Structures are given as C-alpha cells and as structure tokens.
Chains A and B, each alone.
Chain A
Amino acid sequence: MLTWLDANLVSILNGLAIGSLLFILAVGLSLVFGMMDVLNLAHGALFLAGAYLGHLFVGQQAGWASFAGALGVAAVIGALAGGGLSVMTEPLAHRSHLDQALLTLGVALVVAELLSIAFGNDVQSVAAPPGLDGSTVVLGSTYPVYRLVLIGIGALLAVAVHVVIERTRLGLLVRAAVADREMVSALGVDERRVKAAVFGIGSALAMVAGVLGGPIYGARPGLDSTVLILALVVVVIGGLGSVRGALIGALVIGQVESLGRVLLADLASFVLFGALALVLVLRPQGLFGARAQART
C-alpha cells in the first residue's frame, strides 16, 4: 500500500490540483444551470479568456503584482460578462435548454475566435509568481510548489462557497431558487437580479480559474472546449445545483484524469466518459442532485 502510494503520489497530487481548478470552474456552471436552468456553454470560453488575461498581465516575467492584478481584473471582467450573459439569456427563459445552449455556444465560438485572432494559435505560457515557480519535496517526491498552492486555493474557495451558500441570506435565496425558483419570485424577489448575481459570481470564478490554471495549462485555442467538457462532466456527476456535488465531482474527475490515466494507461481516453456513463447508469440525478425533480 505504502509503496503504491509512493509510486503514485505525484499523480494523486496532480489529480487534486486538477480537481481544485475544476471545482472553481464547475461550481458556477452548476449553480447557474441548477438554479436558472441556463446551460452556459460560454463557461469554457471565460476560462480561456482568463488564461489569456494572465498571459497578457504576467507573460514570461513573473511577478506578484501582475499576477494579483490579473486575478482582480479577471474577477471584474468575469462578473460583468456573467451579468451580460444573464441579460442575453433572459428572453429565452421560457424556451428549451437547446435554444439557450445555442445562444451561449454562439457566444463561446465568437469569444474563442476573437481570442485566437488576438493571440494567435500558439501556446502562450504564463509564469507562476516568484517563489511559487520552483519545486519542493513532498513525502520523498519532488513536486511543483505552484500546484500545491493551487490545491490550497481550491480548498479555501470550497470552504468560502460552502459558507456563502449555507450560512448567508444570498445563499438561502440561491438554495431556494435551485429547488423552485418560481416560488421564490412569488414571494416578491426579482429573480432576474438573483440570476444576474449568481451568473456574475460564477463567471468571475471561471475567469479566475483561467488565470490560476495559466501556469499549468498555459493559454491556447481549444483549451476552452477541453475544460468546458470536463466541467460539464463534473456537473453531471455531482448533480445540478449542488456545491457539495461540484466539489466531489471535481475531485473524482481530477483523479480520473490523473491517476486513472496512469493506472489504466490503455484506456486513457476512455476513463473520463467511462466514469460519466457509470454515474449516469447508477444515479442519473448525479451524486448530490439538489433539485427535487426535473422541471418540464
């Protein structure tokens, strides 16, 4: 057991780091979908925009100020973009998921194309802040410091989101809206405002995740759809509108993507969707589906 752990420690840590990033990305997607029934396929494009933003601010010359600046600007632009998407999807509120998906997919394609025109088709790298760009020894294995920090940030954000959802007035409103948003508006709450707020926070988190992921994944065309698919799998596995589900789903998919690919090298391209299919067969509503029943 110990030797197994020793041999796979790096993979497990990598899985945790991917899981952290995926949680930050997926929690917004899950809440917006679970609560407002809007499938935001532009979520991956927001992540990529964040990654390019990090590249623009940080580039090769790493610096704490530029990295923090990128995070701050990403949060602001993300929140604004989320508010914009919230307004854009409003006229489609009573239409099918497919119509909304087509709209947000269109936005995603336009954003991705604009980014590729602006930054080209090469992989742009983003340096980690000084002091975090080296490696350290964890239980005998050498491991990049930045990834450990990312695991920590993911854990902190998970706690923060949990506290907001479970302990605050906004969180109570969000949980009620996930369960039945029409009844929330029938109390006198303007649901468009709640939607815009949640959309804004979720989109800000997606762009922040893009900046945070920069030192690992860099920024390149196609990254948007890769992370979008991962985030969608996380949401489906975890269950719509559930923060706990997004966390567990992200950790599972992180390990599937890292440890799973190592242990089942022959099936590497299959394990992700294998895991998805397994959950869908055994628990179609996801591990922690927060919605009482599907609305028609």
Chain B
Amino acid sequence: MSLRVRELVAGYRRGTVLHGVDLDVGPGQAVALLGRNGAGKSTLVMTVMGLLRARSGSVRVDGHELAGARPHRMARAGCAVVPQGRRLWAPLTVGEHLELAARQGRRRGGSWTVERIVEALPRLGERRRQAAGRLSGGEQQMLAIARALLTNPRLVLLDEPSEGLAPAVAEQVAEVVTSMLADGVAVLLVEQDLYLAFSVADQVAVMQRGRIVHRASTPEFRRDPGTAHRLLGVS
C-alpha cells in the first residue's frame, strides 16, 4: 500500500512541530526517516497514525484521505505503529499482548498469526506468561513489533526500534524488519543508528525543523557523505 503525506502541519499546545511535511512511502518500500533530535520525526509518526491531531495537510493511504482520522481508522486502513518507548501494556502478559493484537489481525485477514510470530521470535513464546513490564529491553522491542505485525498491517511505522538495545539485539530487530519487508509490508523507519537504517531501507528522507529537506536512495545517500554530515552532523 502507499502512504502519501502532503503539507502536513501538526504540533503540541506549546507550538507547531511539523511545518508542512511531504513524504511518500510506496508499496513494499522501506523509507528511513533520519534527522537530528527535535527535527519532528516522532511527531510525524504520531500524526500519521492519528495519535496526534493534524492541524492541516493531507495524509492519504491508497488514495483515501485520512488526515485527522482517529488511530483505529488508520489501523483499519492497514497501518500499525511501533512507537518510541514501545508503550507496551506493562501489567499484561506477553500472551495477552499477542492475543489482543491477533484478534484485530484475524478480522482483517493476513498471514501473521500468533503461531508464526512465536516461531519467528521464540523468546516471546518462552515468556508467554510473563508480564510485559518485566521483559528485557530487547524482548520488549520484539513484543512491540510482534503486536504491530499481528494486526496484519501493510505499512508499519517504526520509531527508533534500536533505542537502548545492545548491538547484537539491534541486529535481531533489523532481521525482523527485513522479514517484514520480504512479506511485502511497507516500512517507515525512524532510526538514529545509521548502519541499521542503511541495512534495511531503500530510500532515505532527512528531516530538519519540521520539514523533509532531503530525499535520496540509500546508495546515493551513502555515496554523499558531505550531505549526511551537513544534515545529520555525522560523517
């Protein structure tokens, strides 16, 4: 499915964060959203998902205008989110997370089932009876991704999935994202870890002060360290 964002303006009571964002994610595409802290990446994710109300602009999913729609309508249109900080339901068990998400996923139909998730992420199967709040950081991230996948989405918004994880665990996250892509799911990936972002994404978009200021294919972007340095402050 395709996501088409145009001139999106949104923010919090204290002030506007997104000053007219234009962004496209094509069917099955993986776009890495890069930018410094405070550029508005998370705000964009939250606004696209409907968790933050858009002030103006357009969010189209497969051509349907959904700007300002509530989150459950975005979910029913095929979007899922793995938010920053994971936002699991801490007192609920791993099994309950999977069941609740799968219940929504079954309604929509698709290939992800609890059995398949547990096969792909065996750690979650082992910890089925444990409260989500007592999992390790990596396990929590896996559960947050599993929860999103079980709704059988066609676009997943991933907000800093490697945050706070050891490199080996971050690599596992990258593997899961790659298998999502192999399934034909489109991905918008917010990521500070450039190595992880480059290994997953085929397109790169850079945000600065609430706007997309640069777009390139991943190989193009990697050949152009001057731009990366200017926009991201890294070499």
* A residues neighboring B (CB under 8 Å): 94, 169, 172-173, 175-176, 179-180, 182-191, 290, 292
Contacts and interface: CB of A to CB of B under 8 A. Distances in A.
Top 5 closest A-B pairs, CB basis?
A: A188-B75, A179-B89, A292-B90, A185-B71, A188-B104
B129 to A, nearest CB: 14
Contacts, number: 70
B91 A290 contact: yes
Interface stretch (B58-66, B76-84, B111-119, B185-193): B76-84
A188 B89 contact: no
B71 A186 contact: yes
Contacts of B80: 186-187
A172 B99 CA distance: 9
Given A185-B72, A186-B71, A190-B72, A176 B151 contact: no
Interface of B: 49, 51, 53, 70-72, 74-76, 80-81, 83, 87-92, 96, 99-101, 103-104, 107-108, 133, 147, 151
Interface centre among A176, A180, A183, A187 (most CB of B within 10 A): A187
Contacts of B99: 172
Contact of B103 (A94, A169, A182): A169
A179 B75 contact: no
Contacts of B76: 188
B100 A182 contact: no
Contacts of A188: 72, 75-76, 104, 107-108, 151
Contacts of B89: 175-176, 179-180, 183
B89 to A, nearest CB: 4
A187 B91 contact: no
20 contacts: A175-B89, A176-B92, A176-B100, A179-B91, A180-B87, A180-B88, A180-B89, A182-B71, A185-B75, A186-B72, A186-B81, A187-B101, A187-B104, A187-B151, A188-B76, A188-B108, A189-B104, A190-B70, A190-B72, A191-B72
B87 A183 contact: yes
Nearest to A185: B71
A188 B100 CA distance: 10
B100 A173 contact: yes
Nearest to B81: A186
A116 to B, nearest CB: 40
Given A186-B74, A187-B147, A292-B90, 5 more contacts: A179-B92, A180-B88, A188-B72, A188-B151, A290-B91
Nearest to B96: A172
Contacts of A172: 92, 96, 99-100
Contacts of B147: 183, 187
Contacts of B96: 172, 175-176
Contacts of A173: 100
